[in-house]
Structure 1
């Protein structure tokens, strides 16, 4: 890959508009109407494969990250948003690609924190100071197009400064698989003891772990998208949101027609996740060997059964649960958890209305609006889809 021409002023694509207002002359930020449009991107169109959050010496100006294009055609980063944050998602900073940055099919592009002078030979494009500095103890980096998260990874601390964190070179770069912590490692030392990083080139294989070093296996599953086996991408607290519940369907009996809707903020699998209610009912979601995949920005339906002729005509059901949902007034709760950690929770006190779901907009709760219809009997609710706004 040929490095781009060096910039003569600070990059403009930062999300922090207040800072941009201080930049004058030729580096002035264009108006919002001039910003490049972003559309047509899907999760997994680019994969984050390596990053150096803790260079030797001063971090400023030396950090970088590597992206891989797994597709069969070239793509252009123009219009995408690159972002970073702490591990908990706070203090997000972002950079908008306003210029053309092409990435050939099956090729890499390296993005760097270069704030002055020419680009180093290993960096293809500079995001300047837009991301400030990446957290050395771990954090989040990602790419998105509007609300579509193309890829996002949580990285952990490198063993020492100057060593990059790389996605295992034995694995095919995949935006689901790279969410699994066991797919990453400090770049191994080469046989000649050279630089422990490979920007713009395939990564080295991570060393095999054994004994106490192996830790707890995340398990594997078969991806319905690719047909290939991969590591389960385990959700963390905040990755999932409970958005809608149908506790009292009219079209069919409760035992066949109750359902719950889940929204994913990140690419995750629901394998091993527990759904439970306030009465002690609980079901572990799984469908071995299949991955219960959820793409970032998508909705999934959990129900008593996956046969539309029996469940009231629900859309495809991702997972099933066996306990019942209460129809009476009183304190109610649904929780998603994994190994004791609560991933998401929804609570309510009202009695169920027959044939009408209950939905949430952030912390706001309401019954599904009149215009929200689904299934064979046109019950009120939007399983597997974005909820209609609550009435004012």
Structure 2
């Protein structure tokens, strides 16, 4: 998915729909800020309803984050597959999508919305293409999500993002991860799921329509490709949800435990700002040496939660640290000097923290919870020693996998 586009290319389209959206040439730039790619994800659309299209088309959005988002100020746009003939709609009023919830946008032309539609964009986008097209959302020049779809589109059948996959703004660019909504189990009823989680596609990923085999739930002995992993919840293969810069935050480091030896008891805590997998992520130190986090199973981290990476998985040998998502093999320095911990993916830096002081025996170095992002954890003073009395075993101070304590002013 393209991350950035130049907004000036839609000036004409905005002018054409200005009367419906209240836009003018002086108001082309949406009044929004802080949005990142993937903050909302397009997961379903109905470009060719049964009967007349006008007033019955819709598209579904999913919020993968841990807090509600407001679409006010965002620009919703639709165009041909090649991006031509774009038309756009500006959210001038508040439109909330709840955390890990869904919102449905429709071209409803009447005052009373149908039960499956949360917000109407009226006639501003015109008719969605029945032979293919693209739809997207952007904030200024940041594309939050954009998908292309291709025909043949079946009348009255929604096009869905495969319900076996974690909704992701990169993964939904792959057209093989979309399919016609399957018939309901009863054999009758609408072939769509607006406002709810999608069902799995009828054909497995990688088969004749882009799936891997008729038995997608079995992992071969040789392992799985680097871009897929086995869901711990369903045991089925799905695409890895890759983190980007700022999606992961290093929040706590235990370099010198007292209850057990360093080689068993060191650990690092990482906080995710959105749902991601750590498969393929490299944890490294200032020497450049590191450990790639590889596993057949998806190393899932839910947005808004911390996970622990440790030298050992076993609580009986690692000082009581549990649960441990993945392990690393290099040692953390206890001495004074310039030290760093980095998370990277395919050579791109995701997050880094640095420090110069020596490790305090039995005390973790923790990030103030009010500064939990990949920029503020770079600031001097954002980290402090875990306060006295905050123990995760009989002697070691720290909060592995739990909320950090505020640093003293």
- After alignment, is 118-127 or 222-231 more displaced? 118-127
CA distance in 1, matches of 2:336, 2:395: 24
- The CA deviation at 1:329 is 1.4
In structure 2, the partner of 1:124 is: 117
2:280 to 272, 278, 295: 272
1:299 partnered with 2:306? yes
Superposed CA offset, 1:298-351 (max 9, x none): 110000010111111101100100001111112111111111111111111111
CA distance in 2, matches of 1:80, 1:352: 39
1:96 partnered with 2:113? no
In structure 2, the partner of 1:348 is: 355
| TM-score, L = length of structure 1 | 0.59
In structure 2, the partner of 1:338 is: 345
CA distance in 2, matches of 1:324, 1:249: 12
In structure 2, the partner of 1:172 is: 163
CA distance in 2, matches of 1:223, 1:178: 15
- The CA deviation at 1:269 is 0.7
CA distance in 2, matches of 1:278, 1:110: 47
CA distance in 2, matches of 1:159, 1:242: 38
Given the superposition, is the C-alpha separation of residues 337 and 97 from structure 1 closer, same or farther in structure 2, using an over 3 Å criterion? Answer: closer
Unaligned runs of 5+ in 2: 1-20, 22-30, 32-39, 48-54, 76-90, 123-135, 181-191, 212-224
1:365 partnered with 2:372? no
Given the superposition, is the C-alpha separation of residues 97 and 286 from structure 1 closer, same or farther in structure 2, using an over 3 Å criterion? Answer: closer
1:134 partnered with 2:125? no
Give the length in aligned residue pairs: 286
Superposed CA offset, 1:141-169 (max 9, x none): xxxxxxxxxxxxxx335379xx9x9654x
1:221 partnered with 2:229? yes
CA distance in 2, matches of 1:80, 1:127: 19
- For the aligned residue pairs, the C-alpha RMSD in angstroms reads 4.6
Given the superposition, is the C-alpha separation of residues 65 and 122 from structure 1 closer, same or farther in structure 2, using an over 3 Å criterion? Answer: farther
2:264 to 256, 270, 273: 256
- The CA deviation at 1:375 is 3.0
| TM-score, L = length of structure 2 | 0.57
In structure 1, the partner of 2:394 is: 377
In structure 2, the partner of 1:329 is: 336
- The CA deviation at 1:253 is 1.0
Taking the TM superposition and a 5 Å limit, the aligned residue runs for 1:1-392 are: 49-50=43-44, 65-66=59-60, 81-83=69-71, 95-96=95-96, 110-112=104-106, 117-118=110-111, 124-126=117-119, 134-135=137-138, 139-140=143-144, 155-156=145-146, 158=148, 167-168=160-161, 171-174=162-165, 176=166, 178=168, 181=171, 184-185=174-175, 200=194, 208=209, 219-287=227-295, 289-361=296-368, 362=371, 363=376, 364-371=381-388, 373-392=390-409
Given the superposition, is the C-alpha separation of residues 245 and 158 from structure 1 closer, same or farther in structure 2, using an over 3 Å criterion? Answer: same
Given the superposition, is the C-alpha separation of residues 209 and 223 from structure 1 closer, same or farther in structure 2, using an over 3 Å criterion? Answer: closer
